[in-house]
Amino acid sequence: LENELNQVRKLESIGLLAGGIAHDFNNLLNGILGYSEMLVEDLEDRPELQNYARVIGQTCRRAADLVYQLLSFSRKGKRKSVSVDLHALLGEVVSILRRTIDRRIEIKLNLAAVHHGVLGDPSQLESALINLGVNARDAMPGGGKLIFETQEDEPDVTFCTKHGLPPGRYLKISVCDDGSGMSPETLDHIFEPFFTTKEPGHGTGLGLAAVFGTIKSHNGLTRVHSELGRGTTFHLWLPLQDGGAAVEEETADTCAGRFS
């Protein structure tokens, strides 16, 4: 336990450091990403070069993802709080994933006809959803189906009490794959920082810890169902915003009670 605590502390310092440069760093990455996407479009008739440009884009995504994972461990991290159109955000996430992951994975988006605004940080939410998509991809090496779905949900009091969720209206986002699934033993650990079943260099074990923390700091809930050999579904509940007025750059301690 002492060891684990030290590791988490170390990560927090990295997070603080990353926090200082993350914004500038992400701007740099977005520049490279934007130009690499233009290259991909322009190189239709040069498949080999087009593939190089695609790899540049994928690598930028991975770098941006790493920044997100490190940042989510920063206790002093500032979180934006603006009105986020989650359906537009999901559209963006799906288009990023379609551009970057294996074509043998079919990605579907089923959006509910509900009011879908939440208050929060769009880039954190986007990173969390991309993380879930990338994990699903890793669970479907031979291809498969990845579905993003939303529905309005008003969980009953028993559910809310059990999971410490304030009663109210939520947007429930489900991310579902028909990949490898997980054993109950793996499931027990997936939200722990550093837990990974992937080869060294292929996983940090921080992705789901970061997703969990992001959703919690948005006053939401993350749950998962998985069956070995059948697939996995992550459910995220985010409180629906009724007002609609944007609140700019509110400062919040995003880590309060993260792993409780």
Cβ distance 136 to 177 under 8 Å? yes
215 HSE (CA, 13 A, CB side): 25
Q: Which stretch binds ligand ADP (CB under 6 A): 72-80, 86-94, 115-123, 207-215?
A: 207-215
Q: Is the Cα dihedral 33, 38, 42, 45 positive or negative?
A: positive
Q: Residues binding ligand ADP: what is the number (CB under 6 A)?
A: 22
Q: Is 208 in the site for ligand ADP (CB under 6 A)?
A: yes
DSSP symbol at 228: T
Q: Which stretch binds ligand ADP (CB under 6 A): 117-125, 157-165, 166-174, 200-208?
A: 200-208
Structure tokens at 76: 């002093």
User: How many residues make up the chain in this entry?
Assistant: 260
Single out the residue of 240, 215, 253 nearest to residue 83, CA to CA.
240
- Tell me whether residue 233 or residue 241 sits nearer to ligand ADP (CB atom): 233
Measured at CB, which residue is nearest to ligand ADP? 207
Q: Is 50 in the site for ligand ADP (CB under 6 A)?
A: no
The secondary structure element, H or E, covering residue 179 is: none
Q: Is 182 in the site for ligand ADP (CB under 6 A)?
A: yes
Q: Which stretch binds ligand ADP (CB under 6 A): 84-92, 106-114, 201-209, 215-223?
A: 201-209
Choosing from 77, 179, 213, 220, the residue that interacts with ligand ADP (CB under 6 A) is 179
Q: Is 63 in the site for ligand ADP (CB under 6 A)?
A: no
- Tell me whether residue 33 or residue 146 sits nearer to ligand ADP (CB atom): 146
Q: Which stretch binds ligand ADP (CB under 6 A): 28-36, 42-50, 94-102, 181-189?
A: 181-189
User: What are 107's strand-pairing partners?
Assistant: 146
Structure tokens at 17: 């450091």
Pairing of strands 144-153, 105-110: parallel
Q: How far apart are CA 149 and CA 129, in angstroms?
A: 12
Ranges of beta strands (E only) in the chain are 82-85, 105-110, 117-120, 144-153, 170-177, 221-227, 231-239
Q: How far is the CB of 214 from ligand ADP (least distance, A)?
A: 12
Q: Where are the alpha helices (DSSP H) in 84-206?
A: 86-100, 122-138, 157-163, 184-187
Q: Is 196 in the site for ligand ADP (CB under 6 A)?
A: yes
- Tell me whether residue 131 or residue 254 sits nearer to ligand ADP (CB atom): 131
Q: Is 65 in the site for ligand ADP (CB under 6 A)?
A: no
- Tell me whether residue 212 or residue 237 sits nearer to ligand ADP (CB atom): 212
Site string for ligand ADP, 129-158 (x = CB under 6 A): ------xx--x-------------------
Catalog residues that contact ligand ADP under the rule CB under 6 A: 135-136, 139, 177, 179-182, 186, 190, 195-198, 203-209, 232
